[in-house]
Amino acid sequence: MSGRTDTDDYRALFLGDTPMMDMRAPAEFSRGAFPSATSLPLMTDEERALVGICYKNQGQAAAIALGHELVAGEIKADRLQAWSDFATRHPGGYLYCFRGGLRSQTVQQWLRDAGIDYPLVKGGYKAMRRFLLEELERSVARAEPVLISGKTGTGKTRVVQRIKSSVDLEALANHRGSTFGQLPQPQPAQIDFENALSIALMKLLERGASRIYLEDEGRLIGRVALPDVLRLEMGRAPMLVVDEPLERRVDVVIEDYVLDLGERYVNYYGDDGPRLHSEKLQQDLLRIRKRLGSERHQQVSEMMAGAFTAQREQGDLSGHRDWIALLLEQYYDPMYEYQLSQRQGEQLFTGNREAVIEWVQAHDTGGAPPRA
């Protein structure tokens, strides 16, 4: 395995989803990494902390010596095996550490001693992170964002997912964007979200997209925040408004928040899933109690509890329609109307999901893929 050189072609790395192994400590990786990176650290968090203390008190040479002492024998052999396995599985990949310095160079040399010539990323994580932040600004400046807007339950995400030149912000954030939108799996770190967003925009522009379609979102999607540079552009972007009758909107909410979310909870938590799912929705409802008012909150809470009981005991979903319709009409719709009135962007078109997708197909060569 030889012939490839170290690289600083960050664009090619991200456009190609190039596999990379990250030599940084687990705590560093958890704070932020890249979609195609795998954490295979040179040192554990504890080992890195000891080396850091040594560096501070005794200098670099002593710290390096301690690092070699801590990562030796079977520990070194096990980690070298993991790096070798990665290099074998991903012969076109790279390795990196924080700055492309001692840690990645050490692993590179140990691999070379084992007969594996594996290149590193020059500048490491820090340089790649800076590149993606700068690229995000460039992408937002180049692209023409168009928002897919509409009331809760109109199926905006379904529209976004059928448009080729779109970025599904909620998928990147692993959250459905609403008060009830938290999923069982944790959300990515803020840095991970920003990195994935920058890469997604870069890929669309590389394919020649001029318009980028995004779902109309607030500043926060769960606990991750839209980057300011994108949020400001979205605040004045033109909109396509999805409009659906209440019955169809209730259907969508049942599909997403009762059936699909319930299945996710069962898959994630097993037998406790149904109970945790219904408790989670009650907790979410409690978070908007002040806006709903105590009396209306109590009404919706009792309706929701009764609906889950009927679903559990009889397999009957009809009870969910009542509390969902009440929340849509009395809570979400007034809030959306107010937010829409604050938007600066032009409303290009209003129609149901299919009509909006047809509008995109007619006005954008990126268009929407054919229906399955």
**pTM of the predicted protein model:** 0.92
Position 345 scores a pLDDT of: 83
By mean pLDDT, which of 152-166, 194-208, 357-371 is the weakest? 357-371
Higher pLDDT: 356 or 345? It is 356
Percent over 70 (pLDDT), the chain: 97
Position 365 scores a pLDDT of: 60
Please check whether residues 153 and 109 belong to one and the same domain: no
Q: Does some domain include residue 1? A: no
Residue 120 pLDDT > 60: yes
Position 306 scores a pLDDT of: 97
54 classed as catalytic: no
Q: Does some domain include residue 346? A: yes
Structure confidence by residue, pLDDT tens digits, 121-136: 999 999 999 999 999 9
Q: Which of 149, 69, 77 is nearest to 114 (CA)?
A: 77
Please check whether residues 120 and 147 belong to one and the same domain: no
Strands 347-351 and 220-221: unpaired
Distance CA 300, CA 180 (A): 14
Q: Does some domain include residue 86? A: yes
Please check whether residues 237 and 349 belong to one and the same domain: yes
Q: Does some domain include residue 308? A: yes
By mean pLDDT, which of 5-9, 13-17, 74-78, 178-182 is the weakest? 178-182
Residue that finishes a domain, picked among 97, 130, 163: 130
Percent over 90 (pLDDT), the chain: 92
By mean pLDDT, which of 41-50, 259-268, 342-351 is the weakest? 342-351
Please check whether residues 124 and 147 belong to one and the same domain: no
Exposure of 222 in the CB half-sphere (CA atoms within 13 A): 21
Residue 114 pLDDT > 80: yes
Residue-wise DSSP of 107-149: HHHHHHHTT----BBTTHHHHHHHHHHHHHHHHHHHSEEEEEE
Q: Does some domain include residue 3? A: no
| Total number of domains in the chain | 2
Q: Does some domain include residue 303? A: yes
Give the tokens for residue 226: 């839209």
CATH code, domain with 80: 3.40.250.10
Exposure of 154 in the CB half-sphere (CA atoms within 13 A): 27
Please check whether residues 54 and 92 belong to one and the same domain: yes
Please check whether residues 76 and 189 belong to one and the same domain: no
Please check whether residues 223 and 361 belong to one and the same domain: yes
Residue 3 pLDDT > 90: no
Q: Does some domain include residue 153? A: yes
Q: Which of 71, 97, 116, 221 is catalytic?
A: 97
Residue 210 pLDDT > 90: no
Please check whether residues 154 and 114 belong to one and the same domain: no
Please check whether residues 42 and 171 belong to one and the same domain: no
Please check whether residues 203 and 274 belong to one and the same domain: yes
Please check whether residues 122 and 181 belong to one and the same domain: no
Distance CA 100, CA 115 (A): 21
Q: Does some domain include residue 135? A: no
Distance CA 145, CA 136 (A): 13
Q: How far is CA 178 from CA 81, 196, 332, in A?
A: 44, 21, 10
Mean pLDDT for the stretch of residues 262-290:
96
Instruction: For residue 43, give its domain range.
Output: 10-130
Position 369 scores a pLDDT of: 41
b/e code 157-170 from CB counts within 10 Å (16+ = b): bebbebbbbbbebb
Please check whether residues 267 and 198 belong to one and the same domain: yes
Residue that finishes a domain, picked among 68, 97, 130: 130
Mean pLDDT for the stretch of residues 83-92:
98
